[in-house]
Amino acid sequence: MEAAQSYSLQDLAAACGGEVVGDARTLIRGVGTLEQAVPGEITFLTNTLYRDLLSETRASAVILGAVDRHATLLPRIISDNPYACYARVAQRLFPFPRAVPGIHPSAVVDPTARISASASIGPQVVIGGGAIIGEGVVIGPGCVLGENVLLEDRVWLYPKVVIYAGCRIGPRCILHSGVVLGADGFGMARDQSGWVKIPQVGRVLIGADVEIGANTTVDRGAIEDTIIEEGVKLDNQIQIAHNCRIGAHTVIAGCTGISGSTRIGRNCRIGGGVGMVGHLDICDGVTVSGFSLITKSIAQPGVYTSSIPSQPHRTWMETLANLRALPQWVKKLRALEQDIQKLKEE
C-alpha cells in the first residue's frame, strides 16, 4: 500500500527515536520487505538470516540495528529495536482511519443509550438500553451491543462484533470482526436428569489498549468477572473461558484455548495452539511455546515447551512403539537398580 503522503527519513526517525545515517531528506511513501520493496519504500532487517538481501533490496531506505550500521550504503535509521521502530514508522505512514461521526439511519439504538456526538455508528448496528458509548468510538456495520455495555473513548469495533450485556471495554481498544465478548461460560451441573445449566452472572472487563483478533471469544464469568488487563494482545480464534484473568501486556497467539478460572500473569507470551487446563496460575514473565499443553501451574518465569516436533512417519511410529514400551523398561531398570544395590550391600 502507498501512504496518503510522503515523509522524509528524518520525520520517520523522529517517530521512532532512531538515528538517521545518510540522506535524511529521502522521501518515503510506503513499506516493503527486503525482497519486494521498491524505490520510495522503507524496509527493515531484524533477522540475520536475511542480511544478504541488503545488497539486493531496491528500497529507498532501511531500518537497522546498531550491529548492522555499516552493512549497507542506503539511507538508514539505526535503532536499538528495529522491529518496534518499523512499527512506529508504519503507524506514521498509515495512521488509523478516521470515521465520520453520526448514527446511520439503519442502526437500532435504545433511547436510554448514551452515545457521544463524536462517535460513529455504522449500518445495522444494534445498541441496547443503558449502553454508554464514549468519545470517538467507531462501531462497524452489524455490531450488536447488549444492555449496559460500556465502550470508553476511542474504542474501535470492526463489523459484526457482539458484546453481551454488562461488559465493559477500556479506552483505545480494537476488536476485530467476529469477536464475541460475554457469551455464557461453559458451566453445567450434573444430576439424574442430565446437565443443568448454571447461570453465568459475571461480566467481561477489558482494560485499556487491548486488541482482540477476529473470531476470538471471551466468556463472561460464572459469578466473578472475566478480566483482560491493559495492553493485552489476543490473536485470531482464541477461546478464553469464564473467570480467567489475563495479566497486563501479555500476548497470546491464534487458536489457543484457555480453560476456566486460569490466571495468567503480566508480560507473558503464549504461542499458537496452546492448551491450558482450568484453575491454573501462571506467573509473570512466562513464555509458552506453540502447541504446548499446560496442565500444572507455573511459578517460575521462563520458557516452557511440551510439544513434539514433526518427524518422518516411519520414525514417529518407531518412537511411538518405544514410548509404549517405556513402562516395561522402567520396571526393568528399577529391578536392575535394586539388584545393584543388593550387590553393593553384600
Separation CA 88–CA 303 (nearest Å): 28
Distance separating alpha carbons of residues 145 and 162, to the nearest angstrom: 6
Query: Within 10 A of 190 (CB to CB), how many other CB atoms are there?
Result: 8
Per the listing, cell 539486493 goes with 56
263 DSSP β-pair partners: 245, 281
70, 104, 176, 242: the catalytic one is: 242
In this structure, what C-alpha cell is assigned to residue 229? Answer: 488487563
Q: Which string of DSSP letters, residue by residue, matches 167-192? A: -EE-TT-EE-TT-EEEEPP--EEEET
The closest alpha carbon to 217, from 255, 191, 172, belongs to 255
Rg (the chain; Cα; Å): 26
Q: Which helix (H) or strand (E) holds 87?
A: helix 82-93
34 Ramachandran zone, left/alpha/beta (phi>0; psi -120 to 50): alpha
DSSP class of residue 237?
S
242 counts as catalytic? yes
Residues designated catalytic: 242
